[in-house]
Structure 1
Amino acid sequence: MAMNEQWAERPATTSLNSMTILIVDDEEGIRDFLQRALNRLYSRVDTADSADSADLLLNTTQYDLLIVDICMPGRSGVEWMQQIRDRGNTGNVIFMTAFADMNHAIEALRLGANDLIQKPFRIEQMRSAIRKSLDHLRLTRENFVLQRQLASTPQVGLLGKSATIVRINQLIERIGPAPSAVLIEGESGTGKELAARAIHQSSGRQGSFVPINCAALAPELMESELFGHTKGAFTSAHQAREGLFSYADHGTLFLDEVSEMPLALQAKLLRVLEDGRIRPLGTEREVPVNVRIIAASNKDIAAAVQAGSFREDLYYRLNVLQCQLPPLRDRLEDLPLLVEHLIERLSRDLGMPTIQFSEADFAVMRQQPWRGNIRELKNLVERCLLLGMPAHDLLQGSVSDPNSNTLQVQGYPLDWTLEDVEYAHIERVLDAHGGNKTQAAKHLGTTRKTLDRKLQSRINDRA
């Protein structure tokens, strides 16, 4: 499944080239051949000529993958795997054998083998089996981390105690269990995806919450991304793939920036909302899906309907339930709670000590236009953590006119390095563009790639 910007924030997981492998085979030629072929691809590749030798290695090293010959002197590979399974080893395993038969296949499956490779084999065949096995392991670990993160975040709703946020959280709790479509509107950075996640968490639906940013995908890719495709459906469709509707079955599909969806695709989305069935590209077969749709936009969709860029019938179909999120400047009483939450989260992510915001900081913050809303506030808190400076110093001379394209900046402290000045200027431009890195890079006269590199370098230096 192709990833978009909404999938960008994922927990850190082990990359495949850092995985460890143990090869267990009594044939020295096979061991040496595989070790040479795999050494440059993975961080550690060890070998053992028997189950006894492998036991000694397992006593000191935890391996991500075991590649085991079935027929060996003494204990066979199957017998040895059964014994280490009984001792609690649940690692991935690929079996090899020169005498494959149905009994071997059944035993391998019973022990949870990821693959059974018959000798002689091509190295490409083995590499493919290893990649699939380690990909499965990585996804399993990633899913475990995500489940833990969800379990440790019991709060459902938006953070805040202002009357507006209290009403929105009450609305989320009320409409959560309903199957109806929801349209969330609000400025960029107000937390539309957070609201959509909260609605999903309140729904009791057993499927996944699957977000997609319609503005981040090329129009020609959006249909296959949503509905999936068969092999050969188009030039680059080398294999069949399910779409996001299938991944969201019995769950929720969040269509962020839905106003950017092409008109032709809007008609197909309308048909899915009406019929509850999708048609993958390249097939006439329709597949039933049970998906709740939550759409969001930072533009006025009613105005887009009047302009002819958004279908009126789709608008009414999506706008069954509506949730309007306020800009940060209309809920300034929530600033202390939001800042406290962001400090706790960012200090943990950056590995830095927490800081305190003073009343002087909040006094200056209440005067800001906050065009980037919560996203801009997050950037400010992160900048305070990294630079070790109070918020009121960083905000002095920030953009005062929301309609101005010029950044009015006060002089920087004389003890700042050139790197400090550059980073502070980058952050101010980012804030001015609501956290949009592409627009900020254009404003700065550089590329998005260079901007990302400079930001990451600064984080690494301060970590």
Structure 2
Amino acid sequence: MTAATQRTVVSSAEDYGGNLSGASVLVIDDEPGMRNFLTKVLGPRVKCVEQAGSPLEATAKLDVGHFDVLILDNVMPGMKGLDWINDQRRKGFFGDVILITAYADLETAIAALRAGIGDFVLKPFRANQILGAIERTLDRKHLRRENALLRRELYARTARGKLLGTSEALASVLSMLKRLAPLPTPVLFLGASGTGKELAAEHLHEMSDRSEAPFVAVNCAVLDPDRIAAELFGVIEESGRLKPGLFMLADGGTLFLDEVAQMPDQLQAALLRVLDDKKIRPVGAEREIPLDLRFLFATNADLHQAVTEGRFRVDLYHRINVFTIKMPPLRDRSEDIVELAAQFMEQFSNTLGMASLELNEDTLLKLRRYDWPGNVRELKNLIERSVILGEFPEEFAGSSAVTAPEAIENLDLVTKRHILHVLDQCAGNRAEAARRLGVSRKTIDRKMAAWGL
């Protein structure tokens, strides 16, 4: 390839709009001119580009580094590119490959398909042709990952919502999430079951610079001990292709490990190494794969006690316990119950295609005064069952002329619900309730008299 030709084809790609900036590329070709041309074209557009002048040199580079895309010449001295890539597949190379060749025939095309070649570019080619091939290859890669995540999400049937509420307890959590969002720091979410630990983790992900990448949640308590490595780290199948694990599907984004206290011993050891090295090794692979992940963790158990009892590794405990966020129980953010109930009512009415129920003054008062040992999950389940049955359970049913939205927003009713909730917390002690509310005992007495209580 002459210098003049190179100048022409490079300039034709100056306005190329493909987003390749996150890709690492290895160019494998025995012709220095072709390697230099491709390096010049790709250098300003990708994260990194390296050269290899032979299959042997390329193997050495793959042994120490990872590349998203290989641009591979097929006809080289000593070994054909297709023979070499088949050998690399057996060693566990999982990246995408674009084959470039001046000799195209049906036999080569069939062999390329069998080797899992993502695209086929004939020499001579223009710069925008190879850039287009790289973008198509990366688009297919991202689409495969999105499809895998979508299938998992559909099977999991997780209908996550938003962190709703204006209570002081929730505001404190939201403020801390905002501070942590731009940082890579691991976060451990603590709190009872149903308090919204996963929801808070996803909220943190959405506020971070990783929000466009996947958020993948893994429940450590339900992992099959015999399938842990394959499910999390991936596995080389009999065909030689890699079936990616959940860690790889989350690459670039956030991995949320729930119920970490129930993590099997073998996973604890493997996770510690991943946290230290930022690499994984799929089952059957010879090479490790680098990862770009933010790790979030959650448990409703006492991890310190688990360490003391020898059920949880002390070194792993210190790696994940960098920063903790304690999710408040619903009884400590009771001001949010009415808003949550209204949101769940609308959600289930729409998703189930059934009529919503009236949230009247009596029902809202009973919802606010209940202790909710199952926290937000218990409230959500109650609303779903009630929509399906067409009525609230007897202990929450009530009749009143005042219904939503007036029942939700009326200041006097909001005040009544709050005072009665505090009285419940104080076992009816009006003096203590007045102290907590910052009002006089006489104010409580007057309110109670006006309400006929």
For 2:283 and 2:357, locate their aligned partners in 1 and report how far apart those are by CA, in whole Å. Answer: 52
Find the residue that maps to 2:267 and give its secondary structure. helix
Give, as a single letter, the amino acid of the residue that structure 1 aligns with 2:234: G
Give, as a single letter, the amino acid of the residue that structure 2 aligns with 1:262: P
Find the residue that maps to 2:268 and give its secondary structure. helix
Q: Which residue in the other structure is 1:317 paired with?
A: 319
Aligned structure 1 segments of 4 or more residues deviating by more than 3 angstroms: 100-103, 139-144, 237-240
Do 1:219 and 1:261's aligned partners in 2 also have CA atoms closer than 8 Å? no
Find the residue that maps to 1:219 and give its secondary structure. coil
Do 2:188 and 2:325's aligned partners in 1 also have CA atoms closer than 8 Å? yes
For 1:159 and 1:214, locate their aligned partners in 2 and report how far apart those are by CA, in whole Å. Answer: 27
For 2:309 and 2:369, locate their aligned partners in 1 and report how far apart those are by CA, in whole Å. Answer: 35
Structure 1 residue 190 corresponds to structure 2 residue 195: yes
Deviation readout 1:171-206 (Å, 9 max, x if unpaired) = 111101111111001111111111110011111114
Find the residue that maps to 2:325 and give its secondary structure. strand
Choose 362-371 or 296-305, whichever is displaced more: 362-371
Give, as a single letter, the amino acid of the residue that structure 2 aligns with 1:312: V
Alignment partner of 1:291 out of 290, 293, 311: 293
Q: Which residue in the other structure is 1:228 paired with?
A: 234
- Residues 212 and 166 (structure 1 numbering): CA distance in 2 closer, same or farther, change over 3 Å? same
Do 2:338 and 2:367's aligned partners in 1 also have CA atoms closer than 8 Å? no
Find the residue that maps to 1:212 and give its secondary structure. strand
Find the residue that maps to 2:282 and give its secondary structure. coil
Structure 1 residue 337 corresponds to structure 2 residue 339: yes
Quote the offset at 1:365 in angstroms. 2.3
For 1:141 and 1:280, locate their aligned partners in 2 and report how far apart those are by CA, in whole Å. Answer: 17
Deviation readout 1:282-334 (Å, 9 max, x if unpaired) = 23311100111101111111111111111111111111121110111221111
Deviation readout 1:18-42 (Å, 9 max, x if unpaired) = xxxxxxxxxxxxxxxxxxxxxxxxx
Find the residue that maps to 1:220 and give its secondary structure. coil
For 2:302 and 2:273, locate their aligned partners in 1 and report how far apart those are by CA, in whole Å. Answer: 23
Deviation readout 1:126-151 (Å, 9 max, x if unpaired) = xxxxxxx9xx89x769969x9xxxxx
Do 1:279 and 1:286's aligned partners in 2 also have CA atoms closer than 8 Å? yes
Q: Which residue in the other structure is 1:180 paired with?
A: 185
Do 1:180 and 1:320's aligned partners in 2 also have CA atoms closer than 8 Å? yes
Quote the offset at 1:166 in angstroms. 0.5
Q: Which residue in the other structure is 2:330 paired with?
A: 328
Quote the offset at 1:355 in angstroms. 2.4
Structure 1 residue 217 corresponds to structure 2 residue 219: no
Give, as a single letter, the amino acid of the residue that structure 2 aligns with 1:319: N
Matches within 5 A, 1:222-371: 222-231=228-237, 240-371=242-373
Quote the offset at 1:338 in angstroms. 0.3
- Residues 325 and 204 (structure 1 numbering): CA distance in 2 closer, same or farther, change over 3 Å? same
For 2:166 and 2:214, locate their aligned partners in 1 and report how far apart those are by CA, in whole Å. Answer: 29
Q: Which residue in the other structure is 2:429 paired with?
A: none
Give, as a single letter, the amino acid of the residue that structure 2 aligns with 1:353: A
Q: Which residue in the other structure is 2:206 paired with?
A: 201
Quote the offset at 1:231 in angstroms. 2.5
Give, as a single letter, the amino acid of the residue that structure 1 aligns with 2:213: G
- Residues 220 and 238 (structure 1 numbering): CA distance in 2 closer, same or farther, change over 3 Å? farther
Identity of aligned residues (%): 45
Q: Which residue in the other structure is 1:169 paired with?
A: 174
Give, as a single letter, the amino acid of the residue that structure 1 aligns with 2:184: P
For 2:292 and 2:213, locate their aligned partners in 1 and report how far apart those are by CA, in whole Å. Answer: 9
For 1:313 and 1:324, locate their aligned partners in 2 and report how far apart those are by CA, in whole Å. Answer: 22
Find the residue that maps to 2:194 and give its secondary structure. coil
Find the residue that maps to 2:226 and give its secondary structure. helix
Give, as a single letter, the amino acid of the residue that structure 2 aligns with 1:372: G
Do 1:214 and 1:222's aligned partners in 2 also have CA atoms closer than 8 Å? no
For 1:143 and 1:229, locate their aligned partners in 2 and report how far apart those are by CA, in whole Å. Answer: 20
For 2:147 and 2:278, locate their aligned partners in 1 and report how far apart those are by CA, in whole Å. Answer: 30
- Residues 140 and 246 (structure 1 numbering): CA distance in 2 closer, same or farther, change over 3 Å? closer
Quote the offset at 1:240 in angstroms. 3.4
Find the residue that maps to 1:226 and give its secondary structure. helix
Quote the offset at 1:364 in angstroms. 2.2
Q: Which residue in the other structure is 1:386 paired with?
A: 388
- Residues 242 and 346 (structure 1 numbering): CA distance in 2 closer, same or farther, change over 3 Å? same
Do 2:149 and 2:249's aligned partners in 1 also have CA atoms closer than 8 Å? no
For 2:378 and 2:219, locate their aligned partners in 1 and report how far apart those are by CA, in whole Å. Answer: 19
Q: Which runs of 5+ in 2 are unaligned?
A: 1-103, 120-139, 154-159, 398-453
- Residues 342 and 238 (structure 1 numbering): CA distance in 2 closer, same or farther, change over 3 Å? farther
Q: Which residue in the other structure is 1:126 paired with?
A: none
Find the residue that maps to 1:366 and give its secondary structure. helix
Find the residue that maps to 1:255 and give its secondary structure. strand
Find the residue that maps to 2:354 and give its secondary structure. coil
For 2:282 and 2:105, locate their aligned partners in 1 and report how far apart those are by CA, in whole Å. Answer: 38
**Number of positions where the alignment pairs a residue of Structure 1 with one of Structure 2:** 258
Give, as a single letter, the amino acid of the residue that structure 1 aligns with 2:232: L
For 2:181 and 2:356, locate their aligned partners in 1 and report how far apart those are by CA, in whole Å. Answer: 35
- Residues 201 and 360 (structure 1 numbering): CA distance in 2 closer, same or farther, change over 3 Å? same
Quote the offset at 1:395 in angstroms. 4.3
For 2:362 and 2:392, locate their aligned partners in 1 and report how far apart those are by CA, in whole Å. Answer: 9
Matches within 5 A, 1:100-119: none
Deviation readout 1:341-375 (Å, 9 max, x if unpaired) = 10111111011122221221133223433222111
Give, as a single letter, the amino acid of the residue that structure 2 aligns with 1:228: G
Q: Which residue in the other structure is 2:165 paired with?
A: 160
For 2:354 and 2:105, locate their aligned partners in 1 and report how far apart those are by CA, in whole Å. Answer: 57
Q: Which residue in the other structure is 1:89 paired with?
A: none
Quote the offset at 1:207 in angstroms. 2.1
Give, as a single letter, the amino acid of the residue that structure 1 aligns with 2:390: G
Do 1:207 and 1:250's aligned partners in 2 also have CA atoms closer than 8 Å? yes
For 2:351 and 2:268, locate their aligned partners in 1 and report how far apart those are by CA, in whole Å. Answer: 39
Find the residue that maps to 1:293 and give its secondary structure. strand
